[in-house]
Amino acid sequence: MAVKKDLSINYLGVKCENPFFLSSSPVGSNYEMVKKSYEAGWGGVFYKTIGIFIADECSPRFDITNKEGTPWLGFKNMEQISDKALDINLENIFKLKRDYPDKVMVATIMGSCDEEWETLAKLVTDAGADLIECNFSCPQMTSHSMGSDVGTNPELVERYSRAVSGATHLPVIAKMTPNVTSMEVPALAALKGGAKGISAINTVKSITNIDFENMTGMPVVNGKSSISGYSGAAVKPIGLRFIANLAQHPEISKYDLSGIGGIETWRDAVEYILVGSRNIQVTTAIMQYGYRIVEDMISGTSHFMDEKGFKTIDEFVGLALPNMIPADNVDRDYKVVAKINDKKCIGCGRCYVSCYDAAHQAIDWDAKKRRPKVDNEKCVGCHLCLNVCPVADCIVPGDVMWKKGREPHDVKLKKFYE
């Protein structure tokens, strides 16, 4: 039965019917597209980045990574900001806000100097945007005065955040690049410059594949290619890491965070919320499946809330953060040996091969019966076997065994793997 929950959030003072937004990209780049996405159920849009600079795009501009028959593990694009004229984009923003006043319009902008940032901030404010996002993070701009070259320079991030904040009454969000060691440094600079929220991540600089025909990367543009942004499922772990880092920072955690990167399902969205995002943004999954994926996000998040007893999204923003601890604080007193369910086992031998070739040779193989058996003394409890086994719940965490000289105590284990 369909479960209905209140998924509304207050994001930077703006009421949103749900936290699920299109992220700035082609998925929200004109009136018709955004209209369709609103009607599908998205709470708002970070409109495709607009600038004074009009992008001159190459063709082709996309590539994907695959593994074992699974396409779109990751997605590479060489696209810059909007290739439409500024007045057309401003008109789209105006009309979308006029026709859909309850949906949230975030104008994403990018300038190359104080004056351009200020001009853009004023124009999108006049066009009726609810919020402004500064794109400090596109890794494939042809000009070094824009994009991630700015986002990796804290002085410029602070300066342009100040220019934008001074030119509008709207809350300003700074969109961060993951192409840095520590995102806290540019994020703090943005907040110092007047930004009221941080969004992350933009795409990760990448080479996805090398083409043997032209001896260059993919996509091939007249025999050449460039390093450019990677997104989609493959970058979710990177996005979660950066959001958790920001949310655990005592100063940055006071501000609203918007999580982006590899979100495809309700589960991905909830994971980002649990590490501190109040708002959620999506591009690549929409490029692959269309706007309808929001239905899964709405219904899956509602069921999750029902099961866990949450009445509002706010109740679980950042709930996992206290349990994300430094490596030196992790309990290293015990091992959880692998337990194999003989009845579920199909005798494929993958656990045996992986444990022998890549773990601790702790699995014996009965070649006649085609069944593995774990030697608890040799097993170090790494759970490589559990992760390679193709059968659900066939290898599960078994006994807890204490290391020599360590004091046994209560431990919390993960019992169920879906």
Ligand X SMILES: Cc1cc2nc3c(=O)[nH]c(=O)nc-3n(C[C@H](O)[C@H](O)[C@H](O)COP(=O)(O)O)c2cc1C
Sheet holding 62-67, edge to edge: 62-67, 70-77, 228-231, 204-206
Which of ligand SF4, ligand X, none sits in contact with 178, Cβ below 5 to 8 A by type? none
Interface pick for ligand X out of 49, 112, 177, 228 (rule CB under 6 A) = 49
Cα gap 137→208, rounded to integer Å: 19
Q: Which of residues 220-279 bind ligand SF4 (CB under 6 A)?
A: none
- 322 CB-near residues (< 8 Å, 6+ apart): none
Q: Which is nearer to ligand SF4, 298 or 359 (CB)?
A: 359
Q: Which is nearer to ligand X, 225 or 381 (CB)?
A: 225
Rule CB under 6 A: say whether 351 interacts with ligand X.
no
Q: Which is nearer to ligand SF4, 113 or 382 (CB)?
A: 382
Rule CB under 6 A: say whether 197 interacts with ligand X.
no
Residue in the block written with tokens 């590490």: 275
Q: Is 138 a catalytic residue?
A: yes
Q: Is 399 strand, coil or helix?
A: strand
DSSP, residue by residue, 137-156: --TT-SSTTSTHHHHT-HHH
Which of ligand SF4, ligand X, none sits in contact with 280, Cβ below 5 to 8 A by type? none
- HSE, CB side, 13 Å, CA atoms: give it for residue 23: 29
Rule CB under 6 A: say whether 374 interacts with ligand SF4.
yes
| 204 in Cβ contact with 116 (< 8 Å) | no
Task: Work out the angle at residue 187's Cα, subtended by the Cα atoms of residues 186 and 188, and round it to the nearest 5 degrees.
Answer: 90
Cα gap 101→312, rounded to integer Å: 23
What is the size of the binding site for ligand X (CB under 6 A)?
Answer: 27
Cα gap 118→166, rounded to integer Å: 8
CB of 381 to ligand SF4, least distance (A): 5
Which of ligand X, ligand SF4, none sits in contact with 350, Cβ below 5 to 8 A by type? ligand SF4
Q: Is 218 strand, coil or helix?
A: coil
Nearest to 151 by CA among 200, 107, 115: 200
Taking residue 286's Cβ as centre, other Cβ atoms within 10 Å add up to 24
Binding mask 362-381 for ligand X (x = CB under 6 A): --------------------
Rule CB under 6 A: say whether 208 interacts with ligand X.
no
Q: Which is nearer to ligand SF4, 309 or 390 (CB)?
A: 390
Identified catalytic residue from 16, 134, 138, 351: 138
Interface pick for ligand X out of 18, 37, 135, 165 (rule CB under 6 A) = 135
Binding mask 100-119 for ligand X (x = CB under 6 A): --------x-----------
Taking residue 310's Cβ as centre, other Cβ atoms within 10 Å add up to 16
Rule CB under 6 A: say whether 203 interacts with ligand X.
yes
Interface pick for ligand X out of 148, 161, 165, 202 (rule CB under 6 A) = 202
23 backbone dihedrals φ, ψ, rounded to 5°: -90, 160
Q: Which of residues 40-59 bind ligand SF4 (CB under 6 A)?
A: none
H or E segment to which residue 240 belongs: helix 236-247
Helix pair 184-192, 236-247: axis angle to 10 deg: 50
Q: Which is nearer to ligand X, 162 or 175 (CB)?
A: 175
Task: Indicate the pairing of strand 14-16 with strand 9-11.
Answer: antiparallel
Interface pick for ligand SF4 out of 50, 201, 282, 345 (rule CB under 6 A) = 345
CB of 236 to ligand X, least distance (A): 7
Rule CB under 6 A: say whether 89 interacts with ligand X.
no
Cα gap 264→92, rounded to integer Å: 27
Which of ligand SF4, ligand X, none sits in contact with 150, Cβ below 5 to 8 A by type? none
Which of ligand SF4, ligand X, none sits in contact with 355, Cβ below 5 to 8 A by type? ligand SF4
Q: Which is nearer to ligand X, 55 or 317 (CB)?
A: 55
Interface pick for ligand SF4 out of 106, 129, 313, 385 (rule CB under 6 A) = 385
- 48, with CB counted inside 10 A (0-12, 13-18, 19+), is buried
Nearest to 333 by CA among 405, 381, 282: 405
**Could you list the residues that contact ligand SF4 (CB under 6 A)?**
338, 340, 345-351, 355, 359-360, 362-363, 372, 374, 379-385, 389, 391, 394-395
**Could you list the residues that contact ligand X (CB under 6 A)?**
23-26, 48-49, 75, 77, 79, 81, 108, 135, 138, 175, 202-203, 231-232, 235, 260-263, 282-285
Catalytic center residues = 138
